Amino acid sequence: MKRLGALFGAILCFLPLLATPREVTIWHAYRGAEEQALREAADTFNRRNDRWRVVLLAVPYDAFTSKLVNAVPRGNGPDAFIAAHEWIGGWAAGGLITPLPDETGREIAAAMLPTTATAVTSDNRLWAIPLTFKSLVLFYRTDLIERPPQTTAELIAQARLFSDPAKGRYGLAFEAASAYYAVPFLHAFGGGLCLGEGATTPCLDHAGNRAALGYLARLIPRERIVPEEATAARCPRPLCDKRTVVCRRDRPRCPL
């Protein structure tokens, strides 16, 4: 009887530990409305779950990748993180991330648009869950422009009219240093990243790509209609503001 009493007492001592939710740390670089939406989703999840508790940590965009690469090998990294998918191959090879179980990966991939699942697949395994996919859109100020440009020649002509670099005013704005924003120009000039069926390494040494990069170089240092500092880290979202007339931004879409 004493043994049963001792056992019952030990169980009572451990019950608070069993009832304590297990924390899941998630890193992200969201700002503004995106960060607010993520926090609201985490709060809702935490209210509805007794076993798990999501803890969010906002990390500056510029430092996100380096902090992740340095923290994970030392055991100080997150349980999960939200980031662009282009580093998945390197992260997987370096042991920074773990693939989803095969059955779970197949179930998730079957529920997604095929291209979104392919983007987070390496060595035939799924290493992440797609949250969104994006499309580039050209925004313009309807209070200044009645008819949006129909060609790149019209785009440049309109941008010149509204550009005054000395006053920090530009007729066109996009993240010119980003390959994501450069790809449409690469394809327009007959180039691309050469990632056809079976290809594993992208290429840039192509006549179309050289022409496209030359075209982009013309827009920034010579035409001076695009700000050199237009990057995701330094520009507000949306990029269009009172100093910018036309801008190219991405619009997220759910892959489900």
Reported as a single tens digit per residue, the pLDDT across 102-122 is 999 999 999 999 989 988 998
Name the pTM for this structure: 0.64
CA dihedral 154, 155, 157, 159 (to 10 degrees): 160
CA gap 92, 102 in Å, rounded: 15
* Same fold across 9-126 and 134-253: yes
| Residues 193-230 pLDDT 10s | 776 655 667 777 889 999 998 888 888 878 888 887 66
| Cα atoms found within 13 Å of the Cα of residue 254, Cβ hemisphere only | 2
> In what order do the strands lie in the sheet containing 133-140?
133-140, 244-253, 170-173
The whole-angstrom separation of Cα 96 and Cα 143 is 48
Strands (E), 101-229: 121-122, 125-126, 133-140, 170-173
Domain 134-253 in CATH 3.40.190.10: yes
pLDDT digits (tens, 9 = 90+) for 148-183: 899 888 988 999 998 988 888 888 888 877 778 888
* 26-76 pLDDT per residue, tens: 999 999 999 999 999 999 999 999 999 999 999 999 899 999 999 999 999
Determine the CATH number of domain 9-126: 3.40.190.10
Residue ranges of domains in the chain: 9-126, 134-253
